[in-house]
Amino acid sequence: MSRIIILAGPGCVGKRPLFAAFRRFYPETAAKFKRLVLFNDRSPYPGEDDGVDYYFRSRMELESMRFKEGFVVADVRGNLQALEINQIRRILDEGNIPYYEGNPFVPAKLWDEGILNQFAHLPIFLSPLSKEEILFLRSPERRVDLNGFVREVQRRKLLRRIASRKQYLSLKDLEDIEHGSVSAYLELREAWKFRHILVSYDSGDGDNWDAFHYPLGNARKSLLSFAALVAGHEHVEEDGPWPQDLLP
């Protein structure tokens, strides 16, 4: 039976290049994946297309979806995102695999409202830190502000990514970076809800994904683990599940 594949995690953790590598090296399986396209109230980033990456709509329109049957709306990094539930059913009815790629807040909303109970699903969280690293950093003798640490790690990744796309950053760009960096800790706190957790140290613009055709290092491990989970293998190199209280 087909199931929803969920790949979630903070921004710039490598979700998109992971799936691009999966599509390149597992083309027959990936061909059946149909990405769930969400509604979003933000403006498109360079290279994004309406109806392909998101349905870009006004905030007022997304607010109205909170009261429409068949839609789930979530607050995401200062924006609103919405998913039409029937989109999942249409993809399944076509014999394909619904694929969600994005933040963990939308899947969490689907769990909270019991919607994912209606479908078989494979939840995978892509984390920039391992459980062992988090336990090390949160130890009292380290005197590390874990929230601030995660925020700074994420800020640098997001700044590097957007700087590679644009020569001059606007105030809105900097605000988006700050929203994403502040949100990262909250998103990591959602990871315990996911049965499978993979650690990705290669951000979306890292060379290890595709600069040498074959993924290298941690990017390769992430790809192999993701492919094994999709194939239904039981013994997979992964980091989860995490305890609920891992991040205070």
Range of the domain at 112: 4-31+85-230
| pLDDT recorded at residue 1 | 56
The C-alpha atoms of residue 52 and residue 248 are separated, in whole angstroms, by 37
Please state which of the ranges 119-123, 132-136, 209-213 shows the lowest mean pLDDT: 209-213
State the pTM of this model: 0.94
Q: Count of domains in the chain?
A: 1
In a domain, 49, yes or no: no
Over residues 144-190, the pLDDT tens digits come to 999 999 999 999 998 888 877 788 888 888 888 898 899 999 999 99
Average of per-residue pLDDT across 8-36: 96
71 within some domain: no
DSSP 125-169: EEESS-HHHHHHHHSGGG---HHHHHHHHHHHHHHHHHHHH-SS-
